[in-house]
A and B are shown apart, each in its own frame.
Chain A
């Protein structure tokens, strides 16, 4: 079958911008620990609880991958978590975004070269955004999510 490139009509573009506008105000977050030391995990929660309260941006922690928009991964991926990571990623409905929090999820960090770790989440699944730090401060995590929203706006 021959693929035909079609230019989106005005109505479609308008609908797309409406979709993006609606999406960026209610990002639901799935937290996935792929073998981290818990440092990043407690900082993600610190970003979501009272002091910084990321929920005011519509960011909310959910339990099931099927409800999530963003998957927040922490930790250099260990061998036993590879399958769980892939399965969880596949369960998230489109459009989905993957954010990696922490140095070891981005590059391997201190665990680089270990026999039981992959050096980073991007070896397994595509990643949209990296937040470096060991662990990043909650402010940095919120800034990362804000950058992701900017990125989503560009995508329209």
Chain B
């Protein structure tokens, strides 16, 4: 680090949203030269805890790995245990799992869109999107009784059934939601603010994407055509008709458009599920001790979600290993920071939909001169908002 360079830490506590993480950034003037992520502030030891609980209790623990993609973790663990127990899940249960998974994708993508709008200082859009998101939260609450951790799965099926009344509510609300989604699409495509702040920012090339092993929408926006729902179908995805949107630009703007396109595809899937869902049992009773190991992978809203479980003639898992998509994607966002302004840091980091954004207490240390400066999240966001204003003039 030479005399002109300055190093500062962002985090771990920040106000906007989500998990505490630290970024150490070295800047030259306003430009980022080097960045690194310091992870592990939310390490709770879930994998170890799972070893002392039986599979029914671990199911609830798995749900609480992440509160936003809770269903993905929950269903993934249930699916892995079902492989070990060799249970055939009833068709109706698999349809219901797809229904909740897609509703979750809708709420997660809308949440992300709102957060990104907030980071660039476009708060009107943030409030608008979060209002539309409440429709989806209502649907999840109607079906499962909870807004965030649904408790939908059990080993061998699901716990809550869909009746005609709920089906009608779902159809009505989805119909009501569609024009609003079109409005969101129009804003995203036409808003000068969004284009000015995100177009060409934080570009992740295909090579970088491959090198850093990104998954999910981050990979698809960089031109890697990979979606587990289509390429390794699980549950009943092979019976459904949907497209996997893809872009090769890799910048933040393409990620926004890609996720909005995915919202439309999710709506399509939900409508098909409501049409095609067969009648029958919703769960198969599973009891006893198991032996064996299994891997399950499903496409969470943020990317590929991996669960490995091993049982050794026991009720408690001998080993549980989880790999969540953010862990893969954060490396690429750190690389993407290089060469951009400090004001772009929140946008780029939020663009990968990590479970954290970078704001709050930022400590600027000039090691050579022994000078340090504390930058609050508010200042960092203000800088971002001011940049938006400058760009718009």
Contacts and interface: CB of A to CB of B under 8 A. Distances in A.
Contacts of A34: 20
B243 interface: no
Contacts of A50: 127-128, 130-131, 134
A146 interface: no
Nearest to B115: A45
A80 B43 contact: yes
Contacts of B134: 46, 50-51
A39 to B, nearest CB: 3
Given A38-B66, A84-B13, A49 B127 contact: yes
Interface string A74-109: 011010110011001000000000000000100001
B111 A64 contact: no
Contacts of B46: 111, 114
Nearest to A33: B20
Given A40-B67, A64-B377, A113-B49, A35 B41 contact: yes
A64 B46 CA distance: 31
A43 B355 CA distance: 14
- Please report whether the interface of chain B is mostly helix, strand, loop or mixed according to DSSP: loop
Interface string B1-25: 0000000000011111111100000
A63 B147 contact: no
A78 B43 CA distance: 7
Nearest to A71: B13
Contacts of B360: 63-64
B20 A115 contact: no
A54 interface: no
Contact of A115 (B17, B48, B68, B137): B48
Given A37-B70, A64-B376, A116 B137 contact: no
B377 A63 contact: yes
A42 B17 contact: yes
A36 B111 CA distance: 18
- Please report whether the interface of chain A is mostly helix, strand, loop or mixed according to DSSP: mixed
Nearest to A67: B378
Given A35-B20, A49-B127, A135 B61 contact: no
A125 interface: no
A76 B12 CA distance: 16
Interface in B113-144: 114, 126-128, 130-131, 134, 137
A38 B131 contact: no
Contact of B361 (A64, A78, A80): A64
Contacts of B130: 45-46, 49-51
B12 A41 contact: no
A41 B18 contact: yes
Given A64-B360, A110-B64, A135-B67, A36 B42 contact: yes
B15 A31 contact: yes
A143 B254 CA distance: 40
B47 to A, nearest CB: 10
B215 to A, nearest CB: 19
Contact of A43 (B40, B44, B70, B147): B147
Contacts of A111: 44-46, 49, 64
Contacts of A37: 64-67, 70, 149
A63 B15 contact: yes
B18 A33 contact: yes
A75 B42 contact: yes
A43 B16 CA distance: 13
Interface of A: 30-43, 45-46, 49-51, 61-67, 75-76, 78, 80-81, 84-85, 88, 104, 109-111, 113-117, 134-135, 137
The 4 closest A-B pairs by CB, nearest first: A39-B67, A63-B378, A63-B377, A64-B376
13 contacts: A32-B13, A33-B20, A41-B18, A41-B67, A42-B68, A43-B147, A46-B147, A50-B128, A63-B376, A64-B377, A80-B43, A113-B52, A117-B45
